[in-house]
Amino acid sequence: MMRRLLLSGVVVCLVLIMAVPSLAATAQLVMATGGTAGTYYPLGGAMSQIINSKVKDVSVSVQSTGASVANIRMIENGEVDLALVQTDIADYAWNGTEMFKDGGNLQGFAVIASLYPELIQVVVREESGINSIADLKGKKVSVGAPGSGTEANARQLLETYGLVYKDLAQVQYLSFSESAEAFKDRHIDAFFVTAGIPNAGIQDTATMHKIKVLFVTDEMFNKLHSKYGFYGQAIIPADCYINQTELVQTVAVQAVLIARRDLDTDVVYNMTAALFDNLPELATSHAKGKEISLEGALTGVSTPLHPGAEKYFKEKGIVK
């Protein structure tokens, strides 16, 4: 009897010992996204669910952050493993320009894939008398969270119209949700959002105020694009927001998924495959999933691909 008990104990110990490496092998990854009222956070959650269900031994959790600029710094510092960022911000970081010029090149990241266009949306009240970005002179404006991609876009777009921050009555650095609240309470006259459409923060304001999104003309786009080549033109279709009865022409950058440059090649390959082999599932999980495609996976990408993603796209004929 005692011998049988001893043998049973040995078997249990062996099972536990064998199980430990399996648990330890699971890659616990963190994805930096954006504010909870933006697009990055819920889309990141949808992507993480697919990865977690399709990729063995990988677990991705989502973290709300200050978005693009903050995300690249977090990748560089090893605080997160994956992140959603704008193509323009990735370009600035890689080349050490704009908000990264004092800290040097940040090249600890690599691109997994381009996802969808992020439209620069400038929101005002319909009765405000503000009909152009040039009309923001002397107004109270939120230009986005400190260090965010939205703030960089706001500065560049204002510059295109001959304005700098000192030309505004007041500049506030607010997240999307903070901008929406300040706008609803009439503490600001306008706010910038760089995000996919429709944006939850803008939708929220449209339930309380009749809003309009400012139009960017071809002339102003050409002027902007001649200096910042990563911008493209984009359209906000009619009825995207409440009472927005006509389409609005604006400009856009791309949202991309990046990873730590030193993240395991096989892990990144498997995550890339999980996302692009299951696009219908992603499309049902989040509206932005409908805009993600294999054909558009390299759109706007000006910085290096991660070897794991490159391997997948080579197999699919996207990378030669």
User: Has residue 22 been placed in a domain?
Assistant: no
Residues 131 and 199 in one domain: yes
Residues 136 and 101 in one domain: no
pLDDT at site 23: 47
Q: What is the mean pLDDT of the chain?
A: 90
* CATH value at residue 207: 3.40.190.10
Residues 122 and 247 in one domain: yes
pLDDT at site 170: 98
Angle between helices 149-160 and 218-227 (to 10 degrees): 120
User: Has residue 69 been placed in a domain?
Assistant: yes
Into how many domains does the chain fold?
2
What distance, in Å, lies between the first and last C-alpha atoms of the chain? 67
Q: Could you tell me the residue range of the domain that residue 58 belongs to?
A: 27-117+255-315
In this predicted structure, the answer to whether residue 21 has a pLDDT above a threshold of 70 is no
Residues 245 and 264 in one domain: no
Which pLDDT tens digit goes with each residue over 86-142? Answer: 899 999 999 998 889 888 899 999 999 999 998 999 999 999 999 999 999 999 999
**Which of the listed residues 253, 283, 306 is the one where a domain comes to its end?**
253
Residues 128 and 236 in one domain: yes
Q: How far is CA 197 from CA 48, 121, 223, in A?
A: 21, 9, 24
What is the C-alpha to C-alpha distance for residues 173 and 1, in angstroms, rounded to an integer?
74
User: Has residue 57 been placed in a domain?
Assistant: yes
pLDDT at site 224: 94
Indicate the pLDDT class of residue 145, thresholds 50, 70 and 90: confident
The residue type of 66 is G
Report the predicted TM-score, pTM, of the whole model to 2 decimal places. 0.74
Q: How far is CA 232 from CA 75, 121, 260, 304, 309, in A?
A: 27, 13, 27, 21, 25
Q: Which two tokens stand for residue 66?
A: 């200050």
User: Has residue 5 been placed in a domain?
Assistant: no
pLDDT at site 39: 85
What is the C-alpha to C-alpha distance for residues 158 and 178, in angstroms, rounded to an integer?
21
pLDDT at site 230: 82
**Which of the listed residues 205, 225, 253 is the one where a domain comes to its end?**
253
Which pLDDT tens digit goes with each residue over 178-213? Answer: 999 999 999 999 999 998 888 888 999 999 999 999
User: Has residue 19 been placed in a domain?
Assistant: no
User: Has residue 12 been placed in a domain?
Assistant: no
> Judging by DSSP bridges, how do beta strands 190-195 and 109-125 pair with one another?
antiparallel
Which pLDDT tens digit goes with each residue over 149-163? Answer: 789 899 999 999 999
Indicate the pLDDT class of residue 143, thresholds 50, 70 and 90: very high
Burial class of residue 230 in the structure, from the number of CB atoms within 10 Å of its CB (0-12 exposed, 13-18 middle, 19+ buried):
middle
- Within 8 A by CB and 6+ apart from 217, the residues are 249
Residues 186 and 208 in one domain: yes
User: Has residue 171 been placed in a domain?
Assistant: yes
Residues 126 and 186 in one domain: yes
pLDDT at site 50: 98
Residues 235 and 311 in one domain: no
User: Has residue 238 been placed in a domain?
Assistant: yes
pLDDT at site 25: 67
